[in-house]
Amino acid sequence: MNYYHSKIVKGKSFETVRNAVEVALKDNGFGVLTEIDFKATMKKKLNKDYLPHVILGACNPTYADKVVSIEPHISTMLPCNVTIREMESGEIEVSAIDPAAAMGVVENEEIVQHAEEVNEMLKNVLKAI
């Protein structure tokens, strides 16, 4: 089972794609709780150069509330990561975790059902960019 979905965007700048991702997330009920600038972090910690690469911690509060109400420890698997990275070709790849795959390890059908709904919402984000 694949644990993520991705889309390659051609002919657009990293910042343009990033802005489109943030709009699509918002339009699909997500907020961005966290942001990790992977490029800057690797440069600072390891003095290693990377192309632009960010990890956005996206959260849909309604679904987060539902799954945490069922299983409080599920919060260790939140938020849903969405990554934006420039590739050597200059294309931009946007990837999103498949929460149904990730949360399937919990073996609770009610949680998996909610995760599948969130998965569809994240796939809609990718379609929108």
SS (H, E, C) the chain: CCCEEEEEECCCCHHHHHHHHHHHHHHCCCEEEEEEEHHHHHHHHHCCCCCCEEEEEEECHHHHHHHHHHCHHHHHHCCEEEEEEECCCCCEEEEEECHHHHHHHHCCHHHHHHHHHHHHHHHHHHHHC
pLDDT bracket for residue 59 (50, 70, 90): very high
Say how far apart CA 50 and CA 62 lie, in whole Å.
35
Mean of pLDDT values over 73-98? 97
The pTM score is 0.94
Q: Which domain holds residue 9?
A: 4-128
Query: What's residue 1's pLDDT?
Result: 59
At 43, which CATH number?
3.30.310.70
Percent of the chain residues past pLDDT 70, beyond the cut: 99
Number of domains in the chain: 1
70, pLDDT greater than 80: yes
37, pLDDT greater than 80: yes
φ/ψ of 94, rounded to 5, equals: -115, 125
